[in-house]
């Protein structure tokens, strides 16, 4: 039943939360209602019923960090498991992980790298300052996909400026330029080689350090957050 509401606010709204254990969304339904005074000199009107969906909240299965999706249309998909994680209005996805970084100095990894292609449509020269090397298959991307999108993927460790203090690259966010060696491929969890530190001594002092890290990639790349 519609209710007369002189304040112009709907009455009887109710919410229902749906969850599949990985993501949850809340549906809020507001019944149709009148507002103002339809029979008075100021007039009034009728507000039709409305149903809205909240932004879904998903959880990274490895670390249970809440990641918020702010750009999913309503109504939601049939299964919440199909929701993208942390899809943003700029059409990117952000993943929060614990990642380990190992230092590479200017005397190491001097080749062009596995993502460099002299004649290909896309190419990234490996080992440039302010970039990282990743595991093969990182973010579920192929070599050709990584060539196309590697310099659009940002790796941002929450290091409090420690990397720069040890002679590493400054700026806070790094892109992908190469694949790492077997030490990177065989490492447990997420690990990066970081280019470049000012000297071999600086790289040794830094060693390997782990930071909470945000990985951001364009959704059109087809990438997936690390599991």
Residue 26 has pLDDT above 60, yes or no: yes
The whole-number pLDDT of residue 44 equals: 57
Q: Quick check: is 214 in a domain?
A: yes
My answer on whether 133 and 63 are in the same domain is no
Per-residue model confidence as pLDDT tens digits over 128-171: 999 999 999 999 999 999 999 999 999 999 999 999 999 999 88
User: 179 and 124: one domain?
Assistant: yes
CATH number, domain containing residue 149: 2.40.40
Residue 226 resides in a domain:
no
How far, in Å, CA of 25 to CA of 41, rounded?
Answer: 42
- Enclosing domain of residue 201: 92-221
Which of 56, 82, 108 corresponds to the end of one domain?
82
Alpha-carbon distance of 227 to 221, in angstroms, equals: 17
Burial class (CB in 10 A: 0-12, 13-18, 19+), 227: exposed
Query: pTM here?
Result: 0.61
């Amino acid at each position: 039943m519609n209710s007369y509401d002189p304040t112009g606010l709907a009455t009887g709204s109710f919410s229902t939360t749906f969850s599949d254990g990985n993501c949850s969304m809340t549906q809020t339904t507001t019944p149709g209602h009148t507002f103002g005074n339809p029979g008075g000199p100021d007039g009034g009107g009728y507000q039709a019923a409305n149903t809205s969906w909240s932004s879904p909240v998903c959880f990274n299965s490895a670390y249970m960090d809440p990641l918020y999706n702010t750009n999913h249309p309503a109504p939601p998909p049939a299964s919440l498991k199909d929701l993208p994680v942390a899809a943003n209005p700029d059409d990117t996805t952000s993943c929060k992980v614990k990642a380990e970084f190992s230092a590479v100095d200017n005397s190491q990894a001097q080749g062009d790298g596995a993502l460099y292609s002299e004649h290909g449509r896309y190419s990234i020269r490996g080992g440039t300052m302010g970039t990282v090397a990743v595991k093969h298959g990182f973010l579920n991307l192929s070599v050709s996909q990584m060539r196309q999108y590697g310099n659009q993927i940002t790796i941002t460790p929450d290091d409090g400026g420690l990397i720069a203090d040890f002679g590493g690259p400054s700026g806070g966010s790094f892109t992908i330029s190469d694949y790492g060696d077997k030490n990177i491929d065989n490492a447990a969890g997420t690990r990066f080689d970081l280019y470049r530190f000012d000297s071999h001594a600086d790289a040794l002092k830094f060693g390997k350090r782990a930071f909470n890290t945000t990985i951001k990639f364009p959704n059109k790349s087809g990438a997936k957050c690390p599991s």
